[in-house]
Amino acid sequence: MKVLQLQNICYSNILNGVNLDWRQDEIIALMGANGSGKSTLARLIAGLIEPTAGAIRLTIDGTSCDWNTVRRWQEIGLVGQHPRRQTIGATVAEELGYGLLNLGHDIHWVRNRVRELASRVGLGGKEDQSPSTLSGGERQRLVTAAILALQPSFLILDESLTMLDARAQANVLELLFQAQTETGQLWITHDPELARLADRLLVIKNGKLVDMGKPHEALINSEMQSLFGIREFEEKTFSIAPKENKPVLEWKQTQYESRLSLNKVVRTGEFIGIVGPSGSGKTTLLDSAIGFILPTEGQLMLCGEQISKASLKTVRRKTRLVLQEAGEYLIGRSVYHEVFYGDQGQDLLAERQARLSFLEGFGIPARLAEEVPEHLSGGERQKVALAAALRTIPEVLLLDEPLLGLDASSRAGIQTMISAWDDLTILYVTHDLREVLQYADRLWLIENGNVVLDCPIQCWKEHQEQFRASGIRC
Amino acid sequence: MLHHLDPRVKVGGLAFLSLLMTMTRWQGLALTSFALLGLVAISRTPLKIYRSLIMVLVWMGLFYGLAAGWVWPENRAVWYGHWSLGGFVQAADMLWRIALVFSLTRLYTAVTMPLEQGMGIAYFFNPLIRITPRAADFALMLTLTLRFIPLIVEEAVLIWKARALKTEWPHSWVKQSWELMQLIVPLILLSLRRAEELAENLMSRGYGSGNYRTLLLHERTSEDLGGVLVIVAWGVLLLILR
């Protein structure tokens, strides 16, 4: 039995005396706010960065090993959040075999092992395909299997299950539980549902780890529930009177090559929750609504006008899109410049006070206005992206997973903002139905580029099984 | 059919035939020309993809025509020379060979995915690893670059989308240049972040300089065997026609 011990680990001003004993057969869930140092701790344990103080020890059956002589990549595996950014192999086979070849195994043995692994994770027959041809769930399974093939004693999953729909997540979890006896696991997550499945819950706060014990017991505690945004389902009293407003977005028998096929109407002030498994066409739908792609057949009308190449300027004025992980793609040189992008020097100075108040309305304090976006936490960057999108009030707001990767307090802040936008027409894409249940008027379930279910929010429970079958968390 | 051939057969075949193309006589070139036409027909690649070769060949033809077609006596200045039919024939012969190599390469790139090309090329670097570990690093860099480029293109598209969502794209080219310059900084930052992630992924799989070995699982099919036989027969004929 191996035990990894962290003793008084410090790193910059992020970690401030972290202590941990992690057994080889133990699954630990690690939670904490954005920017609290979870990923830094993961990188430290994986040996990608060195601590400024403290020691890491590996003990095997009670005997301590010299950490500097341990082949860390062999002992500790690390899987990150984005499947598409983690694959290094040109083919599925190369991905699975790369580490095994580095371990010095014979190429013929590796070939056989790779075939075996591929079929075990449901990728049999796809060995010669490029990983880019796989879905997000398949890619994450591939990366996890490639790391597990090295039989690491410890595995860190840094929000690795966040981007996946429930079905894909269940597949990866199955793989992880199979490896549990040989591989200790550290699941870094914001999702309390996932944390409940672990053996132990740790919380990182002020650069230190707090051991909360058994997660299913710890997460019952009401303080913990508010800290991690755990909420029981509230039975919302739905208004029965439907909104009888004029159509604002109207897809008339539209086809977008073979990717998307729509025939739908969205009315003014409606909040549509759009759910569906990964790769089903949710983001493509939002791209179509803002004119990033134009129909190959049929028409899309925005406020009664057909969207075409010539009308894109008007479309972009009336519609705003918050990209998935918008915080990653901030292009302004400062927060202020990002939100008020395109304004000339004089404009930027004018009405500065009013503009700072506008930022504060989005939870961005004035002191951050001149900060470089790179220096902000994930939650802060997402708020900046929202503020930039809502600098002028649009007719239609398109939100692509706006809460992805955010901690509970950032999520709550953004959800409070969204709940205040009663008059806006909102199309909100998510994997998690619970995010929109309180606000949506209607739900669309998308599968293979088609809206296969369009139901009023009042009836969502009648279709709960259908949502679950599609990998939607609800 | 050409699309499904093992990339190693295609890479090896292209290198082998290109080499022989420099040795063979006009009969070999004629044979290769007919074979190439046959391959273009079999592969069903659109003819327009070969259009880009025309301008290159025109310029090369002018260069060779001038270089080989204009001859002048020994110990005399260049302007005492004259046009020579033999020189033009030599230039045409050279151009023919180059046109065939370029066309075969164009056909190869049309029927082989970039990543497969990388894997195929990297495979032939494997024996060189015994001579120098740099061969392994080069092979790895080649496949990584081919994988990294689409990732960066994807990121660039997202940066472009983020920009498109802000304000209208300016009409003046000065402002357009300024806008593009402003986009370069976030793109470079993102590229560096992705490169760092890639390096970390490599390290977490035990990357060590000189260790890279390509792993192709492509089952040897009868088509691959047929492909090898055709290339060998073709090569032997080119050698006979030297």
Question: How many angstroms separate the CA of residue A125 from the nearest CA in chain B?
Answer: 10
Confidence of residue B28 (pLDDT cuts 50, 70, 90): very high
Are B17 and B90 members of one domain? Answer: yes
pLDDT, averaged across chain A: 86
Enter the pTM of the model: 0.76
Are B150 and B96 members of one domain? Answer: no
Provide, as residue numbers in chain B, all residues whose Cβ is less than 8 Å from the Cβ of A94: 119, 143, 214-216
Phi, psi dihedrals of residue A187, rounded to the nearest 5°: -100, 110
- Residue of chain A whose alpha carbon sits nearest to that of B114: A90
What one-character DSSP code corresponds to residue A432? B
Cβ–Cβ below 8 Å for B211 and A102? yes
pLDDT digits (tens, 9 = 90+) for A31-47: 988 778 888 899 899 88
Cβ–Cβ contact A150 with B under 8 A = yes
- Residue of chain A whose alpha carbon sits nearest to that of B200: A48
Are B139 and B95 members of one domain? Answer: no
Are B80 and B180 members of one domain? Answer: no
Provide, as residue numbers in chain A, all residues whose Cβ is less than 8 Å from the Cβ of B206: 71, 73-74, 99, 102-103, 150
Among positive and negative, which fits the CA dihedral A192, A198, A199, A200? negative
Report the C-alpha gap between A440 and A415 in whole angstroms.
12
Are B15 and B102 members of one domain? Answer: yes
Cβ–Cβ contact A204 with B under 8 A = no
Are B14 and B60 members of one domain? Answer: yes
Are B223 and B199 members of one domain? Answer: no
Chain A contact probe: residue of B159, B204, B224 with most A CBs at under 10 A: B204
Coil vs helix vs strand at A462:
helix
Cβ–Cβ below 8 Å for A323 and B198? no
pLDDT on residue B209: 66
Structure tokens at B222: 């009868």
B122 in any annotated domain: no
Cβ–Cβ below 8 Å for A101 and B211? yes
Cβ–Cβ below 8 Å for B217 and A93? yes
B209 in any annotated domain: no
- Helix extents (H) in chain B: 7-21, 26-43, 51-69, 85-111, 114-125, 134-164, 173-204, 222-240
Cβ–Cβ contact A326 with B under 8 A = yes
| Highest mean pLDDT, choosing among A219-233, A378-392, B100-114, B211-225 | B100-114
Give the residue among A26, A416, A92, A449 at the shortest CA–CA distance from A279: A449
B124 in any annotated domain: no
Cβ–Cβ contact B166 with A under 8 A = yes
Are B96 and B181 members of one domain? Answer: no
pLDDT digits (tens, 9 = 90+) for A76-104: 998 887 777 888 887 888 889 988 988 88
Q: What count of other Cβ atoms lies within 10 Å of the Cβ of residue B5?
A: 21
Are B103 and B139 members of one domain? Answer: no
Provide, as residue numbers in chain A, all residues whose Cβ is less than 8 Å from the Cβ of B197: 80, 85-86
Question: How many angstroms separate the CA of residue A312 from the nearest CA in chain B?
Answer: 9
B119 in any annotated domain: no
pLDDT on residue B218: 67
- Residue of chain A whose alpha carbon sits nearest to that of B115: A90
B177 in any annotated domain: yes
Average pLDDT (A353-367) is 86
Are B228 and B199 members of one domain? Answer: no
Strands A63-65 and A184-188: unpaired
Confidence of residue A446 (pLDDT cuts 50, 70, 90): very high
Are B147 and B195 members of one domain? Answer: yes
For residues B128 and A447, the model is more confident at A447
pLDDT on residue A232: 47
Distance of CA B12 to the CA centre of its chain: 13
Nearest to A323 among B151, B158, B213 (CB): B158
Q: How many domains does chain B have?
A: 2
- Residue of chain A whose alpha carbon sits nearest to that of B181: A331
Question: How many angstroms separate the CA of residue A139 from the nearest CA in chain B?
Answer: 14
Cβ–Cβ contact B141 with A under 8 A = no
- Residue of chain B whose alpha carbon sits nearest to that of A86: B201
Report the C-alpha gap between A306 and A290 in whole angstroms.
12
Provide, as residue numbers in chain B, all residues whose Cβ is less than 8 Å from the Cβ of A88: 144, 147, 198, 201-202, 205
Are B85 and B32 members of one domain? Answer: yes
B38 in any annotated domain: yes
* Domains of chain A and CATH, by start: 2-227 (3.40.50.300), 247-328+393-469 (3.40.50.300)
pLDDT digits (tens, 9 = 90+) for A376-392: 877 788 889 888 888 88
pLDDT on residue B129: 77
Q: What count of other Cβ atoms lies within 10 Å of the Cβ of residue B110?
A: 16
Number of residues that make up chain A? 474
Cβ–Cβ below 8 Å for A150 and B151? no
Give the residue among A339, A331, A330 at the shortest CA–CA distance from A392: A339
B213 in any annotated domain: no
Nearest to B201 among A86, A114, A321 (CB): A86
Domain of residue B191 covers 134-204
